[in-house]
Amino acid sequence: MRTGTARALGLVLGFALDRALGDPRRWHPVAGFGSVAAALESLTYRDRRAAGVVHEVVLVGGVVAVTVGAERLAGASRRDVDRPTGRVITLSRKGSRGEIAATALASWVALGGTTLARTGREMAGRLESGDVAGARRILPSLCGRDPELLDADGLARAAVESIAENTSDATVAPLFWGAVAGVPGLLGYRAVNTLDAMVGYRNERYRHFGWAAARADDLANLVPARLSGVLTAALAPLAAGRPAEAVRVWRRDAAAHPSPNAGVAESTLAGALGIRLGGRTEYRHGIEMRPTLGDGPPPRVPDLRRAVRLSEAVQAAAVVATAAACARPRRRR
């Protein structure tokens, strides 16, 4: 079995595991990585960019190095060279099965789309029933805004914006990097994204130390965010939207957002749903005035349900697209 085919099967199986099981409630490897990163920060932290670069390189480099070794071990018996012809041949299925299993497990660890959609639906249910306090308790699992400062409409907007950005971060980007680089791509990307969530802030403590984490995350998401935008626009009719409007808002508004990637995700979703995102955004560390994205009214609870529906469609399309790209036969030179 070709490497690309094994990788494609692993991505699809990992996506299916995420759909069936969601994130592990206990002993999640990403949480374990976060604990290690927090412990290392107590040693590496200095209010300088160089210290942040060291922190990023040690943690992400360590994950990639370990997973490269594991992936080679999983596929060790898969390939050899036919000496008369010089062609690479398959010796046994054992190595392929190992690669499929390793990729599936890494995909399940790296993906978070099912939990994202489940949390979005739970938020919508709380708001529909008038349980604003319950919705406030849920919001920290979606984003870092201060829920106590938000009313029902503010909670709906925060959830929709989080669904938009995290559809790319939690599913499209891991699948993209899994297709490009297998297990190291999947878990290396998750390490980059986790570090950005931990230290990639512009507050007093992390303005310098978190610079490397934020820039690495920006680079890792440049292509996936735009793939997510294309899929969001293409699938807009599933949420009663128009692809042309999604593309128009993307082209007009995305660049105004402070993030080169979140701006694409949020503006495209705003155009697809016919709503307006952005504006005054309240975090625990302070208030930011975000640019306005889209032309419609602010999002309400029904828009949150539409956002979840579109997110799930984009996730499914992403796994099909990345698996197809892996499995596509490569021409010999």
For 226-264, what is each residue's pLDDT tens digit? 999 999 999 999 999 999 999 999 999 999 999 999 999
- Is the pLDDT higher at 56 or at 201? 56
Average pLDDT, the chain: 90
Give 293-315 pLDDT, tens digit per residue: 999 999 999 999 999 999 999 99
- Is the pLDDT higher at 165 or at 280? 165
Tell me, what's the pLDDT at 91? 41
Tokens of 58: 């040690």
Residue whose entry in the numeric block shows the structure tokens 């802030």: 201
Tell me, what's the pLDDT at 284? 64
Give 141-163 pLDDT, tens digit per residue: 888 788 888 889 889 999 999 99
Give 277-287 pLDDT, tens digit per residue: 988 776 666 66
pTM of the model as a whole: 0.90
- Is the pLDDT higher at 196 or at 88? 196
Domain map (residue ranges) of the chain: 3-327
Tell me, what's the pLDDT at 330? 64
3-state secondary structure the chain: CCHHHHHHHHHHHHHHHHHHHCCCCCCCHHHHHHHHHHHHHHHHCCCCHHHHHHHHHHHHHHHHHHHHHHHHHHCCCCEEEECCCCEEEECCCHHHHHHHHHHHHHHHHHCCHHHHHHHHHHHHHHHHCCCHHHHHHHHHHCCCECHHHCCHHHHHHHHHHHHHHHHHHHHHHHHHHHHHHHHHHHHHHHHHHHHHHHHCCCCCCCCCCCHHHHHHHHHHHHHHHHHHHHHHHHCHHHHCCCHHHHHHHHHHHHHHCCCCCHHHHHHHHHHHHCCCEEEEEEECCEEEEEEEECCCCCCCHHHHHHHHHHHHHHHHHHHHHHHHHHHCCCCCC
